[in-house]
């Protein structure tokens, strides 16, 4: 698998202590700061995105939600009327 070109940069503002800690951890791991940091940042970012997109609800709320979905559709008179009209997008 070909690796993606890595030419984008991300600038971060850190305290001196934060920088030293990250550099020390990277050194202990035998990695560069980039090799050490990027996978962890991406993993955390992916998790934040996943949590934002995931739907959470109680069992009770889930049952209520499904009950609404299972109800027969109610007729909407104005919608039926609209669908009978000729389209404004055709000649």
Asked whether 28 and 38 are in contact (CB, 8 A), the reply is no
- Could you read off the pLDDT of 35-87 as tens digits, one per residue? 999 999 999 999 999 999 998 899 999 999 999 999 999 889 899 889 889 88
pLDDT of 6: 85
pLDDT of 89: 86
Question: What integer pLDDT is reported at residue 2 of this predicted model?
Answer: 60
| Prediction pTM value | 0.59
Token pair for residue 4? 């993606």
Distance (Å, whole) CA 84 – CA 78: 10
Question: Where in the chain are the domains?
Answer: 16-84
Is the pLDDT assigned to residue 28 strictly greater than 80?
yes
Q: Which residue reads 């993993």 in tokens?
A: 43
Determine the Cα–Cα distance for residues 60 and 62; give it in Å rounded to an integer.
5
Which of 12, 1, 2 is CA-nearest to residue 38? 12
């Amino acid at each position: 698998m070909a690796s993606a070109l890595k030419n984008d940069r991300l600038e971060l503002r850190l305290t001196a202590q934060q920088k030293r800690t990250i550099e020390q951890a990277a050194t202990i791991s035998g990695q560069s700061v980039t090799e050490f940091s990027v996978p962890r940042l991406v993993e955390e970012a992916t998790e934040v995105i996943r949590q934002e997109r995931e739907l959470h609800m109680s069992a009770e709320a889930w049952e209520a939600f499904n009950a609404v979905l299972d109800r027969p559709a109610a007729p909407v008179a104005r919608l039926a009327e609209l669908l009978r009209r000729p389209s404004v997008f055709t000649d």
